[in-house]
Chain A
Amino acid sequence: MPKLFSGAEIVFKSLEDQNVEFIFGYPGGAVLPIYDELKNHKSIKHILARHEQGAGHAAEGYARSSGKPGILLVTSGPGATNAVTALTDAYMDSIPIVCISGQVPTHLIGTDAFQECDTTGITRPCTKHNWLVKDVNDLAGIMHKAFIIATTGRPGPVLIDIPKDIQFNKGIYEVKKNKSPYKLNKPKFNNINPKDISKFIEMMKNSSKPIFYTGGGVINSGPKASKLLRELVSLTGFPITSTLQGLGSYPGDDPQFLGMLGMHGTYEANNAMHDCDLMINIGARFDDRITGKIDEFSPKSKKIHIDIDPSSIGKNVNVDLAIISDVSELLDKLIIKFKDKNKNFINSNKQKTSKWWTQIDKWREKKSLNFINSTKTIKPQHAVQRLYELTKDQDTFITTEVGQHQMWAAQHYKFNKPNRWMTSGGLGTMGYGLPAAIGVQIAHPKKLVIDIAGEASILMNMQEMSTAVQYKLPIKIFILNNEYMGMVRQWQELLHDKNYSESYTEALPDFVKLAEAYGAVGIRAKTPDELDEKIKEMINSDKPVIFDCRVDKQENCYPMIPSGKPHNQMLLGPEDEKDVSDEGKTLV
């Protein structure tokens, strides 16, 4: 007779076998048996959030900065529904999350019991897979399968809904080994055809205007992928641009790097994308914020697309060569073959791409990220630049909320390593950055973790300051405070006849006092002269800090591709604003 364990014990045994160190969660009636079991498992530490959404984003921040899956534990009903935003966010940005939710006892399911909801029904479209456990003997198998599904292929969130009676019931803990890996992302990925590699190399050799366009897939493939990408870029001498999610996979201050592309990307990156004759997409997905008007997207180029998710291929843009593969796996094979056959390629190819580089340098001369600085008010771009200059010498992790500040951070903060940049790109979740910073600080206790925030976003999950204080997590919340929902205000100014409908926050808390109320440190900077000194004060504090940086209220985020325009029709600054067509105004 095999030894029997309660469902709650099986949950923890599975977590232990998966080497889980941290759970982010919030207790409630339907998960009490699991919380009761927590005390018997010293290797697992629970981080108590103040809201399930916060717990979810913290798990995301943990996962993105550490490369390990984030674990989320919530109760039934409101616990599960509060987690939905975080699960959807993780689904859009391909972040591995294992969410365990309590459920009302099996015999009450379907009776509209207290704190009951159809959790698996609600989360079906925002998870890779989910389960309602109906037999405690299935629990161990499901737990381990959940980790495999969350972390392999294109990563993403999974959810296991466990009714309270199943948490009490006794069952066997059996992990089936030597089973063939679970089938995922059919057809088989990493089954790279050597002919495709040859074609890839041939296309690179034939190109005189090439560009690498890389995305979050490089980060998700692990640090090795970033290393290989750097090698490939330096072997070829080609220019490279990155999506928002891919920042850090290639050094932001390298001369071959053209900066971020897309709606708020640099002039040189977007024009190079538009005019290139070969686009090499590595781990990005032709998102609508990247392509702009799809009919006029990079009209003259051949396109190569590498993605681990077969459904990303041909979804938005048709390509000439598609390879379904993990990024490191492919780059590894490609580089070996490329180096073997093309010694000294960078020099022999220099002439072929020299005109292209000359053109790129011309675009660069526009200095599209420039802004008019001021000695009286702090310009938000200036604040991010100073933050970068004062933190670049240490290994710094940046999270953001969503809006103008997020784009300024992406434009002006240069990343040199992967997993240092955590931002909600796909779903665009305001309130992401503070809890994500908590997760990052948990994974990297000694490192500097900064949430570059806006005053509107930060209020969406402000309660998590209390979590940061409880666990002595010295996260820094750097608020670019312009009293507006800045990106909404910008769109209203440019596209809705300056009708600033509901985008101004008439009552804001005193962020310094608020920090003190939470038991954190509050710092305020109002003028450019005091900015550096105050930032240093923030960095040197060993406590959580809320930094209220009062910035110019009217500043807009440029450059910008207005909706309905292709890459080569960007707005570079206020003097271009009159060019927005009536047609463009109707698009978002």
Chain B
Amino acid sequence: MVKSKSAYSEPTKLEKEDFHNIVVWVDNEAGVLARVVGLFSGRGYNIESLAVAEIDKTKHLSRITIVTKGTPQVIQQIKLQLGKLIPVHKVADFSRNDPDILFRELALFKLTGTSVKLNKAKKLCQKYNSFVLDKTKKSFVIQVTALRREIDKLTLNLKPLGLISTSRTGAVAMTKGKEIFIQN
């Protein structure tokens, strides 16, 4: 392909990208999720997963957890740009490798097949706090909670055992110990 002459400028040397869980506390008002997500798409940041729900009914606070991938400079920009949004109260950046942070994601799997395969599948799920939520002779729905990458792997392993439907919540995160995250 001929190199475009209208290129704006050339990207310079790139640093290594890493996964981060960005946690954002926001006022639960109309359009707030669009502001956060629009900032990511508008500035070309990645969203690997997104989990959001109101966490305080009286203060109308929501907590958004976004798993993103970027160079240290991009992650820094994400935090600072989010911090500028008016409904944002605080922004935390939990690195995937931080031992003081807990990460969890919940997944529902539906499998169909012979009882041999289904039993095998059930066993695979067992070490991830699994619960069978629904069961028929030829199928079941099972719930697991685990790390994102564990669920990624589990999904692959369940495929040949009759996995026909998957639903995942996206990761959420919380600090260990008695401390909570405080914006400095």
Contacts and interface: CB of A to CB of B under 8 A. Distances in A.
Given A295-B13, A587-B7, A588-B8, A121 B34 contact: yes
A16 B73 CA distance: 44
Contacts of B86: 128-129, 149, 182, 184
Interface in A286-343: 288, 294-295, 309-311, 313-315
A310 B31 contact: no
Nearest to B42: A125
Interface string B172-184: 0000000000011
A516 B65 CA distance: 62
A494 to B, nearest CB: 12
Contacts, number: 63
Interface string B1-12: 001111111101
Interface string A478-506: 00000000000000000110000000000
A586 B7 contact: yes
Contacts of A353: none
A309 B81 CA distance: 10
B34 to A, nearest CB: 7
A587 B10 CA distance: 7
A286 to B, nearest CB: 13
A288 to B, nearest CB: 6
B80 interface: yes
A187 interface: yes
A182 B27 CA distance: 14
Contacts of B42: 125
B5 A496 contact: yes
Contacts of B30: 132, 134
A186 interface: yes
Interface string A96-132: 0000000000000000000000001100110011001
Contact of A311 (B4, B9, B83): B83
B117 interface: no
Interface residues of A, number: 31
B80 A310 contact: yes
B35 interface: yes
A585 B5 contact: yes
A129 B6 CA distance: 32
B137 interface: no
A568 to B, nearest CB: 18
A415 B173 CA distance: 54
Interface string A562-586: 0110000000000000000000011
Contacts of B31: 120-121, 124, 132
Interface string A252-292: 00000000000000000000000000000000000010000
B13 A587 contact: no
B34 A124 contact: yes
A185 interface: yes
A310 B10 contact: no
B7 A186 contact: no
Given A124-B34, A125-B42, A310 B83 contact: yes
Interface in A192-243: none
B153 interface: no
Given A186-B183, A187-B184, A586-B3, A564 B9 contact: yes
Given A125-B38, A132-B30, A295-B13, A588 B80 contact: no
Given A121-B34, A124-B34, A128-B86, A314 B76 contact: yes
Contacts of B157: none
B83 A288 contact: no
A311 B6 CA distance: 28
Contacts of B5: 495-496, 585-586
A311 B84 contact: yes
A528 B79 CA distance: 56
Nearest to A125: B42
A186 B83 contact: yes
Contacts of A496: 5
B9 A563 contact: yes
B114 interface: no
A8 to B, nearest CB: 23
The interface centre, meaning the residue of A125, A288, A311, A313 with most chain B CB atoms within 10 A of its CB, is A311
Contacts of B80: 310-311, 313
A514 B184 CA distance: 60
B166 interface: no
Contact of A295 (B7, B12, B77, B183): B12
Nearest to A585: B5
A186 B7 CA distance: 35
B169 to A, nearest CB: 26
Contacts of A563: 9
Contacts of B83: 185-187, 310-311
Interface string B96-114: 0000000000000000000
A311 B77 contact: yes
30 contacts: A120-B31, A124-B35, A128-B84, A129-B86, A132-B31, A134-B30, A182-B86, A185-B83, A187-B83, A187-B184, A288-B9, A294-B12, A295-B12, A295-B13, A310-B80, A310-B83, A311-B77, A311-B81, A311-B84, A314-B76, A314-B77, A496-B5, A563-B9, A564-B9, A586-B3, A586-B5, A586-B7, A587-B8, A588-B6, A588-B9
5 closest A-B pairs by CB? A311-B80, A129-B86, A310-B80, A295-B12, A125-B42
